[in-house]
Structure 1
Amino acid sequence: MSFTSQSLWLATLLAFVSLTVAIDLSLVDMPMSERHEKWMAQHGRAYKDAEEKAHRFGIFKANAEYVQSVNRAGNRTYRLSLNRFADLTNEEFKASFLGFKPNPLIAKEEQDVEKPFRYANLASVPGAMDWRARGAVTGVKDQDICGCCWAFSAVAAMESIVKLKTGRLMSLSEQEVLDCTGNGMSCEGGTMEAAFSFIARNRGLTTESNYPYTRNQGYCNSRRKSASAATIRGYQEVPRSEAALLNAVANQPVSAGVEGSGIDFQLYGGGLFTGYCGTDLDHAVTVVGYGASARTKYWLVKNSWGSGWGEGGYMRMQRDIGSYGGLCGITLQASYPTA
């Protein structure tokens, strides 16, 4: 990353974080009902009747008190926020906004995985990497209430490898992947490996503008599907170690499964995320870089919950934690497309 690009990204991030902090702090001393009204206006939220509003207010109040207690304690390297998920219970959030469901049988049946791991024997890798600064990452997208994070993760990784191979950064179609992959892949969950395999066998993927996202799974549109804009050969799986993941991300963005169902993940507002999470994979993200803040190393993760979550739609997750699977299990099922 050039000094100019790095400075611009840091300045943008600091401005975003400062604005978010200012918004949150401005709400702290308000009566809770007024905080809820302002939050509703900020996020365009409307309820069908007074009963639903009262129900959602109770959830919002509990989440707001939790966010405030965590942030005031000041004993974590990250902060929480009253983001778009603040009026959802954690169970509601898990039911609607995740969607990675590892299926070992499907993975074993796929014929498009390439071996051996091509980045196994690198002599060295850069000390930091941010594929956004190199123009290889499209803007943050929003899966909304369809649990197809697996499709967004796979498409994001494909968009990047196409840019690295052809010089063209295109926004490609998650809806085509959602509608056409088959094998049970749906808004109820799926895997990036199945998506990569579909794209390879389909001889490509069309653009977002040609086959736009609808937030629901529909019938596979063969006319739009035939208008391929870019393709991949297949995919590779990353060995289950942070060293292997580092080698891969040093060369291209990588899709990864994580456990993203925790309340701190739900309400993450910025900073270097260090927990709490386990290794029960239920969400898919794209690792688009890595670096270090003070003495703590991190993965730079692109999510698919819109730019209002986290750091403009991104999370910095602690790396090199010295335990199997890495933080939130980020190394347990990682893969990337080959072109």
Structure 2
Amino acid sequence: MKVSLFLGCVLLSILVAASGHTFDSRLDEDWKTWKSQHEKQYTEEEEIHRRSIWEDNVRYIEQHNLEYSMGKHTFTMGTNQFSDLTNKEFSERMTGSLPFEAVKSTEEAIDEDIEFFEDKGNDDDLSNAPVDWRTKGAVTPVRDQGPDCGSCWAFSATGAIEGQWKLKHGNLVSLSEQNLVDCDPQSHRCKSGNPIDAFQYVIKNKGIESEQSYPYTAVKGNCRFQIQDVAATIRSYTRVQANEAALEEAVQNIGPITVTIIASDSFRQYKQGIYYDSAPKKTIIHSMLVVGYGAEKNTNYWLVKNSWGTTWGDNGYIKMSKDRGNNCEIASYASYPTV
């Protein structure tokens, strides 16, 4: 056993030397801890590649957090399950929302079910009254869409339906994202989709199953929908007017709202604080669920539920900057269902 372990270490050392990579020995224990925490296993050759990417991300995070301590940023970063991926790999695997142009063309074909929620011009300063729909029992626990399935659109849609179902019927039911991934003909399954298509599918399909009856697998499978197992239905959906005032009014008066953001690579390493993205290059198109809003240190934020598990961000949530020029386009594409 000891000989085998020794030979493995020697082989890894040879591969590292041959690749020309020099790792930071100060990070050895952190690397081992991170691999254990996120259950990462690699071949010897792959370990070199992933360790190199991970160290690059660690240095990027450390530099950002140093600048945060100097007052240059409003949020901190941290390693997570994505820290061994390049920006390109992450974008290809995890951001599964369709571009806005595709969403718009889809809506034009199905506009019989569209309603529009507009800002009513309320003079009251709603920002002074924080909202958190979790305290009303209208939000299910954070779940994980998996490392290789871009199904954020499905999690965003089910979250909005779950909230409306709870508020109307009194019971909170975790609904099946897999039902949408397998059966929604407008989506691209684990590749991309959007909440509007998901709502439209549930309307035409006369319902959606629960997570219990149709569990999540994080891969596209054959549609196994059973009408007798329907756990929730919706009648229509509503597009929120594309500004933060309208989104605020909808979150306050309606409940959890689906949103699709456009952000830069810093988004995936978010840990805590209020996320503000000033980078000109945006590479991530991602759907989530706004479950409230509030203020912290005189800075307004949207409280947003993600679908990357509780090890990402602030226990699976992110506070995104609010009233700062519609940052990340957070209010540009918001919607909710009517049950």
Determine whether 1:41 maps to 2:41. Answer: no
CA-atom RMSD in angstroms? 1.9
For 1:291, the aligned partner's letter is G
Shift of 1:170: 0.5
Shift of 1:241: 0.5
| Contact kept in structure 2, 1:259 and 1:277, CA below 8 Å | no
Q: In the alignment, what sits opposite 2:316?
A: 313
Q: In the alignment, what sits opposite 2:61?
A: 67
Secondary structure, aligned partner of 2:291: strand
| Contact kept in structure 2, 1:280 and 1:329, CA below 8 Å | no
Determine whether 1:86 maps to 2:83. Answer: yes
| Contact kept in structure 1, 2:258 and 2:334, CA below 8 Å | yes
Residue of 45, 55, 58 corresponding to 2:52: 58
Give me the whole-angstrom Cα distance separating, in 2, the residues matched to 1:204 and 1:121: 35
Give me the whole-angstrom Cα distance separating, in 1, the residues matched to 2:155 and 2:225: 20
Give me the whole-angstrom Cα distance separating, in 1, the residues matched to 2:330 and 2:283: 10
Secondary structure, aligned partner of 2:201: helix
1:185-204 matched pairs, under 5 angstroms: 185-204=188-207
Shift of 1:250: 0.6
Give me the whole-angstrom Cα distance separating, in 2, the residues matched to 1:112 and 1:161: 21
1:100-119 matched pairs, under 5 angstroms: 100-101=97-98, 102=100, 103=102, 104-117=104-117
| Contact kept in structure 2, 1:79 and 1:269, CA below 8 Å | yes
Q: In the alignment, what sits opposite 1:329?
A: 329
| Cα shift readout 1:178-227 (whole Å, capped 9, x = no counterpart) | 1111024311101100100111111211110100011011111133x541
Q: In the alignment, what sits opposite 2:175?
A: 172
Secondary structure, aligned partner of 2:313: coil
Give me the whole-angstrom Cα distance separating, in 1, the residues matched to 2:64 and 2:228: 50
| Contact kept in structure 2, 1:112 and 1:197, CA below 8 Å | no
Give me the whole-angstrom Cα distance separating, in 2, the residues matched to 1:44 and 1:80: 21
Q: In the alignment, what sits opposite 1:301?
A: 304
Give the TM-score taking structure 2 as reference length: 0.85
Shift of 1:131: 0.4
Q: Which one is further off, 136-145 or 122-131?
A: 122-131
Q: Which one is further off, 68-77 or 168-177?
A: 68-77
Q: In the alignment, what sits opposite 1:227?
A: 229
Shift of 1:308: 0.6
| Contact kept in structure 1, 2:118 and 2:240, CA below 8 Å | no
Q: In the alignment, what sits opposite 1:245?
A: 247
| Contact kept in structure 2, 1:256 and 1:330, CA below 8 Å | yes
Give me the whole-angstrom Cα distance separating, in 2, the residues matched to 1:162 and 1:121: 28
For 2:332, the aligned partner's letter is L
| Cα shift readout 1:93-146 (whole Å, capped 9, x = no counterpart) | 101011000312112111453434276365755721000111110000111121
**Percentage of matched positions with identical amino acids:** 39
| Contact kept in structure 1, 2:117 and 2:240, CA below 8 Å | yes
Shift of 1:316: 0.2
| Contact kept in structure 1, 2:142 and 2:309, CA below 8 Å | yes
Give the TM-score taking structure 1 as reference length: 0.85
For these two proteins, the number of residue pairs brought into alignment is 305
For 1:94, the aligned partner's letter is S
| Cα shift readout 1:278-327 (whole Å, capped 9, x = no counterpart) | 67761100000000011110000000000111110000001101x3xx11
Residue of 125, 134, 137 corresponding to 1:135: 137
Cα separation, partners in 2 of 1:236 and 1:316, compared to 1, 3 Å? same
For 1:62, the aligned partner's letter is D
| Cα shift readout 1:52-103 (whole Å, capped 9, x = no counterpart) | 0010000011111111111122221110001111111111110101100031
Q: Which one is further off, 110-119 or 156-165?
A: 110-119
Secondary structure, aligned partner of 2:113: coil
Give me the whole-angstrom Cα distance separating, in 1, the residues matched to 2:241 and 2:120: 9
Mark the runs of 5 or more structure 2 residues left unpaired by the alignment. 1-23
Q: In the alignment, what sits opposite 2:186?
A: 183
Q: In the alignment, what sits opposite 1:13?
A: none
Q: In the alignment, what sits opposite 1:6?
A: none
Give me the whole-angstrom Cα distance separating, in 2, the residues matched to 1:82 and 1:247: 35
| Contact kept in structure 1, 2:116 and 2:239, CA below 8 Å | no
Q: In the alignment, what sits opposite 1:98?
A: 95
Cα separation, partners in 2 of 1:268 and 1:280, compared to 1, 3 Å? closer
- Over alpha carbons, which structure has the higher Rg? 2
Cα separation, partners in 2 of 1:116 and 1:222, compared to 1, 3 Å? closer
Give me the whole-angstrom Cα distance separating, in 2, the residues matched to 1:276 and 1:310: 19
| Contact kept in structure 1, 2:116 and 2:241, CA below 8 Å | no
